[in-house]
Structures are given as C-alpha cells and as structure tokens.
Amino acid sequence: MRQHRHPAILALIAAFASVGSPPTMLSTAIAQEKLVAPEKNPPGDIPDDQVFIDYKAPAGFTIKVPEGWSRVEIPNGARFFDKYDQIEMTAGTAAAAPRAASAKAAEIPALEKSGHAVKLGTVQDVKLKGGPALHITYLANSEPNPVTNKRIRLEHERFVFFNQGKTITLDLAAPAGADNVDQWQLISNSLRWH
C-alpha cells in the first residue's frame, strides 16, 4: 500500500537524510511541537471582559465598538471585525422611519438580495436608547474564507435607526450559536446621533 506524505514532512526527511541523521531524530523533532492552548472563549463569543470604545462616525453618530477589532471603511460607513464576528454600520436616507409593517416592501428584499442564503427570523419595532428602530434577525452564510474558501453560518441582528430623514443600519453578526446577547445589547443601545 502506497503512503502519501505531506510535502513538508518529505522535505524534513530529505533534510535529515542529507546530514546523515537517523529517522528517529525526525520523530523526536515532530514530537517536540507543543499543543496550542485552547481559545479562552468559544469561537464567536465576545469575551465578558471585552473593553468597548466610542467610534465617532463621519455620518453623524457615535457608537461603542470592541477595542482592538480591525476596521475598514466601506461606502457610507464602516465595518469592524474579529475573525467571523462583525459589526457593520451604514448611513442612508429615507422619507419615513422604517417599520416592521412596511419592511417587506424594502428592507427585507434588499437584505435577501445582498446576503448569502438568507433565512429570515423575526421582524419587529423596538425602542432603544438611540431611538425607535426596526429590528430584523436572520441567518446567512459568511463570505468565503480567503485561504480555505470555507463558509460558515452566521446569526445576524440588524437595526435600522431613523432620525430627521437619515437612517443608520447597524448589522451585528457572529457564528451561529455564539452567545453575544449582552454585548450586542450594549452596542445597539449605545448609538447616539450628533
């Protein structure tokens, strides 16, 4: 039976063979690799001791985001992320406040068109510290990982805030099953208009 070996292993065997080292040295070298410590929190969980800082958006609002997360500017907003966890906020305009009763006409079709395999959850009107908002929960596939091309299922909570003709869409995402209830509540309640 033919054995398949990883190219890196074959390179190590060749390197040891070239210096006349016995094959047992290769076993010892590989055995010395230490186990990586397990993650402190399950994948997707924002730690309970996470520090949050204010992000002042050019679009006229301030919101709390996790300190240390990466940030990229996107059209009309910004995206903060750490692995598969993501916070995206975009500014827009509307003639009237979006409501659960009217979401089927605009917000939901746009969401289904822009997302990957979207499965709608709840659609409701909520009152937060930043004002009334449309709240939509849904599941969707992530973008493919640039290295492995793997996608994972993400849970989303989307809030659409309205103030004097302006909207802010806040979308919070994490791997399905992550426990971020308190952290997402903190973020969604932290929005302040300028």
40 inside domain: no
* DSSP label at residue 116: S
Quote the mean pLDDT of the chain: 84
Q: What pTM was computed for the model?
A: 0.77
Are residues 142 and 57 both part of a single domain?
yes
Is 47 part of any domain?
no
Domain-located, residue 170: yes
- 95, 187: one domain: yes
Place of tokens 């103030």: 163
Place 150 in a pLDDT band, splitting at 50, 70 and 90.
confident
Q: Do 24 and 99 have their domain in common?
A: no
Residues 68 and 111 in one domain: yes
Task: Let me know if residue 45 belongs to a domain.
Answer: no
Q: Which residue do the tokens 């002042």 mark?
A: 56
Domains in the chain: how many in total?
2
Q: What 3-state DSSP class applies to 71?
A: strand
Q: Tell me the backbone φ, ψ of residue 18, rounded to 5 degrees.
A: -70, -25
- Asked if residue 20 has pLDDT above 80, the reply is no
Same structural domain for residues 73 and 126? yes
User: Hey, which residues does 163 pair with through a beta bridge?
Assistant: 166
70 and 166 co-located in one domain: yes
41 in a structural domain: no
Same domain assignment for residues 15 and 94: no
Host domain of residue 118: 52-193
Secondary structure class of 62 (helix, strand, coil) = strand
- The answer as to whether 123 is a domain residue is yes
Any domain includes 46 = no
Q: What does the pLDDT look like over 43-89, one tens digit per residue?
A: 788 999 999 999 999 999 999 999 999 999 999 999 999 988 999 99
